[in-house]
Amino acid sequence: MAIEQSAPAPVYRIGELAALTGMSVHTLRWYEARGLFPADIPRTSTGRRVYGEQAIGWLRLLARLRDSGMPVSEISKYAELVRAGDGNEHERVELMEAHARSLDEQIDRLLASREVIRTKIRAYRHLLAERGIDVPGAEAGAGVGDGRD
Amino acid sequence: MAIEQSAPAPVYRIGELAALTGMSVHTLRWYEARGLFPADIPRTSTGRRVYGEQAIGWLRLLARLRDSGMPVSEISKYAELVRAGDGNEHERVELMEAHARSLDEQIDRLLASREVIRTKIRAYRHLLAERGIDVPGAEAGAGVGDGRD
DNA sequence: GTACGATCTCGAGTGCGCTCGAAGTCAAGG
DNA sequence: CCTTGACTTCGAGCGCACTCGAGATCGTAC
């Protein structure tokens, strides 16, 4: 069997990757310096970074982790585990499970906050409706909450 | 009718309020300086802050707003509206509605992120189960994602 | 060869939300 | 009277996650 000549794997320069991921080139370099990549970024002979297709998938995950509040230091730990190779999947999954729990908490808190806000809005709407119907322009407000708020 | 002698309204010093709300005294003073209170905090003759019962309710709301990502500058605007008194309820409710929309977005994003994380976890679990059952200790990992992650 | 745009490294700057410390005043107990 | 601890103001410092800028180099187009 001859060695298969596969189609040239698409490769990106840092500017292209930035455009594709919505991150700035500064950020990409900063992430790399912080150890957020699971593998060394290869360079051209003159030192320019060369990213493979998988970089996009990784950065998508990375963006999700960041966006959901995982600190850079934690993502770095995860990247380090991936970099270390097979055999530490248990640690990786534990890290992700911890983050999933953090997400559950965040979501619960936001839902609770949303209820508080919605209640506030309902109270204001009620007040405005009363005013609009009863005494347009009246200034008797009994307050929406328990005081001035 | 004689003027009713109501029970002395409970009043708090900054340290007590801090203990009751879980905020630090530093933070309470900082919030005040940033205009996050809807009314001036009265002082004793010698300059110590004196908080009324409503401060607790306000700070509870404040904590919800902060916790759900409303910037201090925005809370300050809201407090200013409340301070300005009756007549601007429409602006207040608009501000709150804008925040409610921001909350909806945050929640949506977090739910989506949680799904990504859960999928990742499921994939790892699957991998570990296969390993555990098929070839305990084997190192053939085909990768959980599309690459090293 | 020269211009120009993308890339490189490195270090400094930014914005947010606190957090801390210094130096002084005040209130109550012993 | 003296100590102790809670309070005061004011300004500086911190942690996080970028973000920017300077100054150099690279590579393609003319």
Domain architecture of chain B: domains with CATH: 11-85 (1.10.1660.10)
Q: Where are the beta strands (DSSP E) in A7-58?
A: 11-12, 51-52
pLDDT at B134: 60
Condensed to tens digits (0 to 9), the pLDDT of residues A116-130 reads 999 999 999 999 998
Q: Stretch B118-135: mean pLDDT, rounded?
A: 87
Instruction: Report the C-alpha gap between B138 and A86 in whole angstroms.
Output: 10
Q: For chain B, what is the radius of gyration of the CA atoms?
A: 26
What integer pLDDT is reported at residue A65 of this predicted model?
A: 98
Task: Confirm whether any atom of chain D, the nucleic acid strand, is less than 7 Å from CB of B132.
Answer: no
Using the predicted structure, report yes or no on whether residue A143 has a pLDDT greater than 70. no
Contacting residues of A for B135, CB less than 8 Å apart: none
CA B120 to chain centre: 29
Interface size, chain A vs chain B, as Cβ–Cβ contacts under 8 Å: 135
What's the pLDDT at A130? 86
B81: closest chain A residue by CA: A149
In this complex, the answer to whether residue A34 has its CB under 7 A from any atom of chain C, a nucleic strand, is no
Q: Estimate in Å the CA B31 to C1' C14 gap, whole number.
A: 22
- CB-based contact B54:A148 (threshold 8 Å): yes
Backbone angles phi, psi at B22, to 5 degrees: 80, 5
Residue type, A2: A
- CB of B27 within 7 Å of some strand C atom: yes
**B19 alpha-carbon distance from chain centroid:** 17
B97 touches strand D (CB under 7 A): no
Query: What is the model's pLDDT at position B10?
Result: 78
| Residue in chain B nearest A107 by alpha carbon | B107
Q: Name the band, by pLDDT with cuts 50, 70 and 90, for residue B139.
A: very low
Q: How many helices (H) and strands (E) does chain A have?
A: 5, 2
Residues of B in contact with A107 (CB under 8 A): 107, 110-111, 114
Q: Is pLDDT of B140 > 50?
A: no
**Nearest residue on chain A to B82, judged by CA atoms?**
A149
- A99 vs A89: CA distance, rounded Å: 15
Name B residues 31-60 whose Cβ lies under 7 Å from strand C. Answer: 44-48
Which residue is listed with tokens 């709300």?
A: B21
Closest alpha carbon to C1' of C21, residue: B26
From B67-71, B97-101, B134-138, the region with the lowest mean pLDDT: B134-138
Share of chain A above pLDDT 70, in %: 85
Q: Are B127 and A34 in contact (CB under 8 A)?
A: no
Backbone angles phi, psi at A97, to 5 degrees: -65, -40
Are the CB atoms for A144 and B89 separated by under 8 Å? yes
* Residue whose C-alpha is closest to residue A13's, from A55, A52, A50, A60: A50
Please state the rounded mean pLDDT for residues A11-36: 98
Question: At A140, is the pLDDT very low, low, confident or very high (cuts 50, 70, 90)?
Answer: very low
At B90 the pLDDT is 95
H or E stretch covering B12 = strand B11-12
Percent of the residues in chain A that have a pLDDT greater than 90, as a whole number: 80
Q: Which two tokens stand for residue B111?
A: 């739910």
Q: List all residues 6 or more positions away from A136 whose beta carbon is below 8 Å from its beta carbon.
A: none
